Structure 1
Amino acid sequence: MFRGGLTLNTDGTITVGSTTPSGTYQVEYQICENGANPANCDRAIAIVEVKNDLIAKDDNLGTIATSTTATTAAGSVLANNGNGVDTLNGVAVTTANTDVTPVTTGSIRIDVDGNVTIQPSTPSGTYTIPYTICETGAIPVNCKTANITVEVKNTIDAVDDAKVTVASGGNTPNVTLNDKLNGSNVTIGAAVGQVSLTGVNIPVGLTLNTDGTITVGSTTPSGTYQVEYQICENGANPANCDRAIAIVEVKNDLIAKDDNLGTIATSATATTAAGSVLANNGSGFDTLNGVAVTTANTDVTPVTTGSIRIDVDGNVTIQPVPQVVLTRFLIQFVKQELHQ
């Protein structure tokens, strides 16, 4: 057998072995005259070009979700991924008779054996990259190029948050603490593998911060508020987003103090100002979250009947008392009537 798997047969033909790489081979042979003495021989060279048919097929590796921490196996370019296997002379190639030119950068990588891996945190999208296979040992090189296509489809899940209670001026926990990207907790940021946070419907008085917390304004009234927000996977094409609702109960601490307005002389004809229930009348101010209330953040239920009245701003007045004079007149009149 000659170099590279060639065999010179007794009938003068040359057989090329099934694993012989493509290339140009020189087969030197000798012929001798039978019975000649001395020997009568001559040599010559036969040139054989081995040209194997290498075919690389395009590969569709389907839809795959990636990991945020580890590489994900996506298949092999040498396998049948919808268009048939890559072939050498009509037979499926192997790692023994072909070499794959490795792809060692980018989100989708291919090793020398044709194995495809997806890097951690690769954004959702459809990726198409070329790959090249070459016949092992071929001189000159015998290579073919095809494409692999893989759809990365990561699962994003924004989860509604349980109600949290805070007072005006306070902050909630991060609303994304229970949100997931491919089953792992999300991280808010601008990098690949992280998510972007935006507000969708933010009630007046509440602010959705960039770190996922919600700030309740210092003048926000008590009540239950729904904050709708959206998280989107960075770099995804098309966009990969999900929405959720965080419920914030604002519960302000309102304290009304008893008031002693002291001793006041009234008028028989005009109302008399007696002070304000919102002021410090011996027991301290009425407070909202520890700060003295104002007419801007509290309303006083007015008292509009009786001798002591209170308006909507908390001002106390004492009504005129002409009825005292009238009572004395009536008593005198009755007494006079009894003595007549």
Structure 2
Amino acid sequence: PTASATTQPTCAVATGTVTISAPIGADFQYNVDGGTYQSSVTFSGLTAGSHTFTTRRISDNTCVSSARDVKVGNYICAVDDAGSSVNGLVGGTAFTNVLSNDTLNGVAVVASDVTTTFVSSTNGGITLLGTNVVVKAGTPAGNYSLVYQICEVLNADNCSTATVTVTVVAAPIKAVNDVAGPINGIVGGDAGINVLDNDLLNGVKVTPSDVKITSTPNGPLTVNTDGTVTVAENTKAGEYTVDYTICEVLNAENCSTATVTVTVVAAPIKAVNDVAGPINGIVGGDAGINVLDNDLLNGVKVTPSDVKITSTPNGPLTVNTDGTVTVAENTKAGEYTVDYTICEV
């Protein structure tokens, strides 16, 4: 008989159909693979492979045609896969062996019977390595997909494609609170720490180029973009705080916030004893010194505007608020003392 496969097996329907085209008529019956003869010219439910057909006359069932082989094609099915989550900072394997659920003629494919090729992916960092789906280090977090194709080695045009879904996640990020000081408030300047030194990205100390620092100055404190902390000069003694946030460069929304606490202390201050005279007691007046001339603030001569002088007159002596010393007129000869105090403004 003349016959051909009119329907090939697919992944949805695993069998094919062969139709006899000649001879046809009421006096003919048909047989496949030595089975029962039938009047219908259509044979459905045929598995992939070669099938043998014969024809006979109903009026003379000894009149049987020669056999005719018809091939029902192989069918190959690539099945979609769902990969596991991968840390995008370090990368890794999202799915091992995409062939694991693929079939050829309904049975698990043998790797040597197919060729596996990369078709496309929604991110350049998602690729196919052999039969594994891998994520390149430095891939941003997101939901991606990769399409691959398998083709039968025996029949190179017998192919199927499937999609692997891949979830890339951001590395854990942790900004850790910092403590600095004591810092001399009159000088201010660098607080002596870098906020990144104890911050973590993916469980290890952050690399400065992998994160971005943002912070709004608070009072005298500023966290700089390089992680250093600056204290404004002429800051009063006390404890100050400022918040900062680090965000991963690879994933700008992957952020963490911490607080910096800085202790600011007063600069060392020293009032030094003074000696004046001799002064004419009958005239009195200015003692010829300024008590601030040898007093120190932060190790250097005080600037008058940086301190306030307080003193209670003692006998004929008065220490004025500008640091001068006055002797009352008509003061008897002798040695007199008076105390004064300087306080940092």
TM-score category (smaller protein): 0.5 to 0.7
Alignment check: 8 A CA contact 1:261 1:274 kept: no
Match of 1:232 in 2: 247
Closer/same/farther in 2, CA of residues 311 and 143 from structure 1, 3 Å limit = farther
1:220 aligns with 2:235: yes
Match of 1:210 in 2: 225
1:286 aligns with 2:296: yes
Cα distance in 2, alignment partners of residues 299 and 156 from structure 1: 47
Cα distance in 2, alignment partners of residues 263 and 139 from structure 1: 115
Q: Give TM-score, length-normalised by structure 2.
A: 0.63
Closer/same/farther in 2, CA of residues 311 and 210 from structure 1, 3 Å limit = farther
Deviation at 1:141, TM superposition (A): 4.5
SS of the equivalent of 1:148 reads strand
Alignment check: 8 A CA contact 1:59 1:77 kept: no
Deviation at 1:161, TM superposition (A): 1.7
Cα distance in 2, alignment partners of residues 88 and 264 from structure 1: 118
SS of the equivalent of 2:292 reads coil
Cα distance in 1, alignment partners of residues 267 and 161 from structure 2: 76
Question: Which structure 1 residue ranges, 5 or more long, are not aligned?
Answer: 1-8, 30-42, 325-340
Match of 2:157 in 1: 140
Deviation at 1:274, TM superposition (A): 4.6
Cα distance in 2, alignment partners of residues 259 and 222 from structure 1: 26
Cα distance in 2, alignment partners of residues 251 and 302 from structure 1: 22
Cα distance in 2, alignment partners of residues 248 and 151 from structure 1: 39
Within 5 Å, which residues of 2 pair with 1:188-207?
188-189=208-209, 194-204=210-220, 206-207=221-222
1:59 aligns with 2:69: no
- Give per-residue Cα distances to partners, 1:295-329, cap 9 Å, x unaligned: 34x3234114434444555x2332534687xxxxx
The one-letter code sitting in structure 2 at the alignment partner of 1:101 is: T
- Give per-residue Cα distances to partners, 1:128-179, cap 9 Å, x unaligned: 1222131331331413142413041321011112333343334412111111
Closer/same/farther in 2, CA of residues 150 and 272 from structure 1, 3 Å limit = same
1:150 aligns with 2:173: no
Higher relative contact order (CA 8 A, sep 6+): 1
1:163 aligns with 2:172: no
1:126 aligns with 2:142: yes
Cα distance in 1, alignment partners of residues 320 and 171 from structure 2: 62
Match of 1:332 in 2: none
Question: Which structure 2 residue ranges, 5 or more long, are not aligned?
Answer: 1-31, 36-42, 54-65, 333-345
Q: 2:96 aligns with which of 76, 91, 99?
A: 76
Cα distance in 2, alignment partners of residues 220 and 144 from structure 1: 69
Q: 2:71 aligns with which of 28, 48, 51?
A: 48
SS of the equivalent of 2:139 reads coil
Identity of matched residues, %: 25
Cα distance in 2, alignment partners of residues 180 and 210 from structure 1: 17
SS of the equivalent of 2:197 reads coil
Cα distance in 2, alignment partners of residues 54 and 249 from structure 1: 69
Alignment check: 8 A CA contact 1:170 1:216 kept: yes
Match of 1:299 in 2: 307
Match of 2:277 in 1: 263
- Give per-residue Cα distances to partners, 1:252-305, cap 9 Å, x unaligned: 54241514242153787996365433223xxxx5131x4433234x32341144
Closer/same/farther in 2, CA of residues 10 and 230 from structure 1, 3 Å limit = closer
Cα distance in 2, alignment partners of residues 291 and 98 from structure 1: 85
Alignment check: 8 A CA contact 2:191 2:262 kept: no
SS of the equivalent of 1:235 reads coil
Q: Which deviates more, 97-106 or 215-224?
A: 97-106
SS of the equivalent of 2:310 reads coil
Alignment check: 8 A CA contact 1:200 1:230 kept: no
Deviation at 1:72, TM superposition (A): 2.4
Q: 2:192 aligns with which of 172, 177, 181?
A: 172
Deviation at 1:243, TM superposition (A): 1.0
Q: Which deviates more, 224-233 or 45-54?
A: 45-54
Closer/same/farther in 2, CA of residues 311 and 107 from structure 1, 3 Å limit = farther
Q: Give TM-score, length-normalised by structure 1.
A: 0.64
Deviation at 1:249, TM superposition (A): 2.4
Cα distance in 2, alignment partners of residues 179 and 147 from structure 1: 35
Higher share of residues assigned strand: 2
Deviation at 1:196, TM superposition (A): 0.5
The one-letter code sitting in structure 2 at the alignment partner of 1:176 is: L
Q: 1:183 aligns with which of 193, 197, 203?
A: 203
